[in-house]
Amino acid sequence: MSITSFRAVSVGALGGLAAFLALGPAASYGAQLFAALIGWAGYMQFGGKLEGLKKSIPHHLCGVLLAAVALVAATRLPYGETIGVAAWTAIAVAVTLVLLVLASKLPALAEWPVSLAAYATLLATTHADDLLALAPNNPALLAALSLIVGAVFGYAAEQLAEALQKLPLPGQKAPSAARS
């Protein structure tokens, strides 16, 4: 079997486990399957392995932080009453997206589309009212944790695929080192 087949099995198994956990036992803790899958995709964007994990996490945190700033500015500052909520929200989003792209000048945040996906994740999964709460149910914290857990699941799936590839199949003496 090819590494692609083993990867398909490991991604399916761990993706199913992530869905079960996010919608079952971890749901009461605010686990977000959508965010976990975006985190997994960000991890893969960096080529996987431990290096992909190390590179994806700062991008996820940057995106969540800037989205939280935009949401707080849009909902907590009084300018929306003066110029209208839609206009003020648009300004807050525009400014934070400019900062997100400018942050890509930093080597640790060079792939701004990964940060943008994390930014969008918080916007898609949050209630702005809870962003300032220093509590375990803070949406920014939950989104960041779910993104990181997703990246970790991506790493685990990759490790599982590689381990499966090394196992001999029935009727096979030893796996070939050159399979792909």
Mean pLDDT of 96-119: 96
pLDDT at residue 129 is higher than 70: no
pLDDT at residue 97 is higher than 60: yes
- Kind plus residue range of the DSSP H or E element containing 146: helix 139-166
What distance in Å separates the CA atoms of residue 47 and residue 6, rounded to the nearest whole number? 17
Average pLDDT of the chain?
A: 88
Please report the beta strands in 13-164, taking only residues with DSSP state E, as ranges in sequence order.
Answer: none
Q: Strand, coil or helix: what is 73?
A: helix
Mean pLDDT of 127-143: 75
What distance in Å separates the CA atoms of residue 69 and residue 122, rounded to the nearest whole number? 11
What distance in Å separates the CA atoms of residue 28 and residue 19, rounded to the nearest whole number? 14
The whole model's pTM is what?
0.83
Q: Place 167 in a pLDDT band, splitting at 50, 70 and 90.
A: confident
Domain positions in the chain: 3-166
Measured from the Cβ of residue 153, the count of other Cβ atoms closer than 10 Å reads 22
Q: Place 1 in a pLDDT band, splitting at 50, 70 and 90.
A: confident
Q: What percent of the chain has pLDDT over 90?
A: 60
